Amino acid sequence: MRIAGRLAAGAVAAVLIVTASASAPAARAATVAAPGNAAVTVPAKPVPAKPGPAKPRPAEPGGVAPAVTRGPLAVVRARWAEIAVAATGKGLWSRSSASRRPMGSVTKVMTAYVVLTTPRLNLNRVITVPAAVTAYDAEFDASTAGLRPGEKLTTLQLLYAMMLPSGCDAAFTLATAYGPGFSGFIAKMNATARKLGLTRTHFTDPAGLPNPGQYSTYSTAQSLVRLGRDAMKLKTLATVVGTRSYHVAATSAHRAHTWKNLNPLLTMYRGALGIKTGYTGAAGQCLLFEAKRGTRTLIGVVLDSSSDISDIKAASEDAVTMLNWAFAKYGTR
């Protein structure tokens, strides 16, 4: 798949099957819009690293690099992270979880949440892929689900297209349909963030693309865990993000598509439930994840487990480390 420069797409630069495959060039950015709409320039040189297992990045433009954790979780490479009990939200461990960070296609969890909480939602509503999606994908070299302008798919099919292969084309299509209009949908995303109590969170793009800048869409590990908890309470979303592969047969309205889930955790960790990968040049490898052992469900997030676009398992390996530690320490009941 392509990530933020074929970017934000969630994620991990893994393989997307849609009739055709895609490549994954790295993302790029320089001058960006920071919170408050002030234009800032990302420092040319990173903040000096403190001793530790991972190379730190600034918490935000001009921010301070997070401290390195000592102890059993020191091997976690993510610079910003949190793990909590899904049922209560009780935090079990965190690292710089209140610092605002871009999160790439983890953003699509909010896009799905806004769509799925639409009053009188009809999952069978047929939506036409707009012509503008071509320019949108091309401008950001975005990862796609292989949708073509004029294809007609249902809301449910588009949710699979967005959440499994991290299709930015599907995110754009849903946003324009449910805004209505792009800007209307962005307003809904930010209103929903306030309603859910997501602090230090702001959205400017439904796919998590660097639109207009690498830091214009951001949140915190703490707020993303809260979003994940609310999102996974929606049965449709939980089903979608837990699906490994989804096939849409060809009809007169659209081509055949097969979308595979880019989340490595689903195949590498017993009890993994979802939910979304993410990557941009500024965000690094990210993963919002949930897993269940026995009767205990844990939810967590890692941000910037690796800055390498090809290091596709970095975030899921961090997630495994955190989950194993939490289940061992707090039990599975």
Q: Supply the residues annotated as catalytic.
A: 105, 108, 166
DSSP, res 323: H
Contact predicate 73/317, CB 8 Å: no
Helix (H, G, I), strand (E, B) or coil at 31: strand
Structure tokens at 29: 């950015």
105 to each of 136, 180, 191, how far by Cα in Å?
15, 21, 19
User: Is residue 130 within 8 Å of 149, Cβ to Cβ?
Assistant: yes
Strands (E), 35-154: 38-41, 80-85, 91-95, 126-128, 152-154
Provide the sign of the torsion angle of the four alpha carbons 284, 263, 224, 270, taken in this order: negative
Strand (E) or helix (H) holding 109: helix 108-116
Where on the phi/psi map is residue 126: left (φ > 0), alpha (ψ -120 to 50), or beta? beta
